[in-house]
Structure 1
């Protein structure tokens, strides 16, 4: 299990190093994850070796939301004072993000000529 975590952290470190060294707009963990995916395609035995530990890690992913919940409780006074504004901002930003995704999809589909019969 420790070796699997070491592999994950090494890929994240490599991605972070590339992202910072070349001043990329892509976050380091995303680059590391993409590199790990390519490695899995090239060496499926590595993916199989890591499967049990990574599945267990993903099963406990909800624990990462605990700090967010603690932050909400710690700043409850801010939520009572600005709650409506925060809720409006959250809903509006979610809608705008979905619309941006749809717009990007439609633009790429048009550029690729998908749906033009």
Structure 2
């Protein structure tokens, strides 16, 4: 499990570093996940090594949401002030995600039928 955590932390740190150096407008963990994805694509045997520990992390994923919930409770007054913009952003992002997912599934289905 330590190797899996170390791997995840290394890629997150790389992502944070790239965001800092290149002044990217994307969160560092997102860049780190993309780097990890490319690494897993290039080294296919690594995914099998990380899978058991990653499954353990996913089974305890609810614990990872505790800091986010604490952050929400700290900024509850601001959320109350800006609830309309937050609700609009949630609705628009959900609709965009559904449309993009439907498009990708449709494209992949068409491709697999050929």
**TM-score under structure 2 length normalisation:** 0.67
- C-alpha root-mean-square deviation of aligned residues, in Å? 3.0
Q: For the residues of structure 2 that align with 1:56 and 1:8, how far apart are their CA atoms?
A: 14
Per the alignment, residue 49 of structure 2 pairs with 49
Counterpart-to-counterpart distance in 2, 1:75 and 1:52: 36
The partner residue of 2:91 within 88, 91, 95 is 95
Residue segments in structure 1 that go unaligned for 5+ positions in a row: 106-117
Match of 1:37 in 2: 37
Distance 2:22 2:73 in 1: 39
Look at both structures and tell me which one has the larger radius of gyration over its CA atoms.
1
Aligned length: 99
TM-score normalised according to structure 1 size: 0.65
Q: Which runs of 5+ in 2 are unaligned?
A: 101-114
* Distance of aligned partners of 1:28 and 1:66 in 2 relative to their CA distance in 1, 3 Å threshold: closer
